[in-house]
Amino acid sequence: MVKETVDASIDRVLWTEAEIAARVAEVASELAADIRRLPEPVVVVGVATGAFLFLADLVRRVGKPLAVDLVRVESYGDGTESSGRPQVTADLKVDVAGKHVVVVEDIVDTGNTVTCLIAHLQKKGASSVSVCTFLDKPARRTVNFQLVGDGKFYRGFECPDSFVVGYGMDYAELYRNLPYVGVLKPEMYNKKTSN
Q: List the strands of the sheet with 100-108, edge to edge.
A: 87-90, 67-74, 42-48, 100-108, 128-136, 153-158
Looking at residue 155, its amino acid is: R
Give the containing element (helix H, strand E) for 115: helix 112-123
Instruction: Please tell me the pTM assigned to this model.
Output: 0.88
Asked, for residue 1, whether it belongs to a domain, the answer is no
Check if 109 is active-site. yes
Asked, for residue 15, whether it belongs to a domain, the answer is yes
Asked, for residue 3, whether it belongs to a domain, the answer is no
The catalytically annotated residue of 109, 136, 150, 170 is 109
Give yes or no for a contact between 167 and 20, defined as CB atoms under 8 angstroms apart: yes
Number of folded domains in the chain?
Answer: 1
Region 20-24: mean pLDDT is 97
Asked, for residue 2, whether it belongs to a domain, the answer is no
Give yes or no for a contact between 105 and 133, defined as CB atoms under 8 angstroms apart: yes
Q: Which residue has the higher pLDDT, 131 or 82?
A: 131
pLDDT for residue 88: 78
Burial 14-23 (b: 16+ CB within 10 A, else e): bbebeebeee
The mean pLDDT of the chain is: 88
CATH number at residue 54: 3.40.50.2020
Of 158, 192, 166, which Cα lies nearest the Cα of 81?
A: 192
Asked, for residue 138, whether it belongs to a domain, the answer is yes
Note down the domain range covering 52.
10-194
Of 182, 188, 152, which Cα lies nearest the Cα of 30?
A: 152
In 44-111, which ranges are continuous DSSP H helix?
52-59
Region 5-26: mean pLDDT is 92
Judged by phi (left if over 0) then psi (alpha if -120 to 50, else beta), residue 116 lies in: alpha
Asked, for residue 52, whether it belongs to a domain, the answer is yes
Asked, for residue 4, whether it belongs to a domain, the answer is no
52-85 tens-digit pLDDT:
999 999 999 888 889 999 999 877 555 555 556 7
Asked, for residue 113, whether it belongs to a domain, the answer is yes
